[in-house]
Copies of this chain bind each other. A is one copy, B any other.
Amino acid sequence: MSEPPVPIVGGTGKLGYGLAVRLAAAGVPVRIGSRRAESATDAAERVRDVVDDADVDGAANAECVGGAPLVLMTVPFDAQAATLKDLEEALQPGQIVVDTTVPVAATMGGKPTRMLGVPQGSAAEQAQELVPDGVRVVSAFHTVSADELGDLEVELDEDVLVCGDDREAKQALAALVDRVPGLRPVNAGRLESSRLVEGLTPLLIGINIRHRVSAGVRITGLSESRW
């Protein structure tokens, strides 16, 4: 039986495209989701342009999540609530939603080096509040540069900090991350710790602006991922 595709909701954006490229290159089947199915199939085409044997297609967001054990969601913060509302019927108990959202102030016209305060504490906790009961949210990919993910000539060598309240859900994502060469999943604690990890994004954006780099993060002193 062939492996089911990993849906990437909002996969036409930079982070979604970057993840699609890296996953496809690692042999993971991918289904890009977008509000418009046509944009999604266009994005799938762009992934095939850079990954020869990519197993990737596109569909409307709600169609692409059906039945998938794990759903990646790569929409900007100002689209998070609306997107999850659109997926209300499509998402089923037991599914895992991987939220990558960061409430950078730039979303609301502020600075990219600043964070908005989110009533729930973090974008990830807001996502957990918005998904149907029984859907488990984990958060990840806050510190990985979308540009570097999308450019296969860049050799990755950094960590992906994963937060969540469900150990099994975190492990499922960790297994997926482990398939991408150069990315190491690190258990960063409960979902509430996502507020600490989300804060790394505006910090790295500042470093990127000052040094004209695409910075990432590595936790030192950890010899292995130990999941």
Smallest CB-CB separation from A201: which chain B residue?
B196
Cβ of A216 < 8 Å from any Cβ of B? yes
Q: In whole Å, how far is A49's beta carbon from the nearest beta carbon of chain B?
A: 25
A33: CB under 8 A from chain B? Answer: no
From A17-25, A128-136, A183-191, give the one contacting chain B.
Answer: A183-191
Residues from chain B with a CB closer than 8 A to the CB of A197 are 203
A153 to chain B, nearest CB (A): 14
Which B residue sits closest to A208, measured CB to CB?
Answer: B221
A196 contacts B193, C-beta separation under 8 Å: no
CB-based contact A206/B189 at 8 Å? yes
Bound form: Cα–Cα A127–B30 in Å: 49
A146 to B145, CA, bound (A): 31
Least CB distance, A19 to chain B, in whole angstroms: 18
Q: Which among B145, B206, B226 is the interface contact of A211 at CB below 8 angstroms?
A: B226
Q: For the complex, what is the distance from the CA of A211 to the CA of B186, rounded to whole Å?
A: 10
Which B residues are CB-close (under 8 A) to A219? 204, 207, 215-218
**In the complex, A113 has a CB within 8 A of chain B:** yes
Contacts of A113 in B (CB 8 A): 189-190, 193
What does the 1/0 interface line of A170-212 toward B look like (CB < 8 Å)?
0000000000000000111110110111011011101100110
Which 5 residue pairs are nearest across A and B when measured between Cβ atoms? A196-B199, A216-B220, A189-B206, A218-B218, A196-B203
List 28 A-B pairs, Cβ < 8 Å.
A113-B189, A115-B195, A115-B196, A145-B221, A157-B220, A158-B220, A161-B203, A187-B207, A188-B206, A189-B203, A189-B206, A189-B207, A189-B210, A193-B202, A195-B199, A196-B199, A200-B200, A213-B221, A213-B222, A214-B221, A215-B219, A215-B220, A216-B219, A216-B221, A217-B217, A218-B218, A218-B219, A218-B220
Known A-B contacts: A113-B193, A217-B220. Give 10 more (CB < 8 A): A115-B195, A115-B196, A148-B221, A187-B210, A187-B211, A189-B207, A197-B203, A213-B222, A214-B221, A215-B221
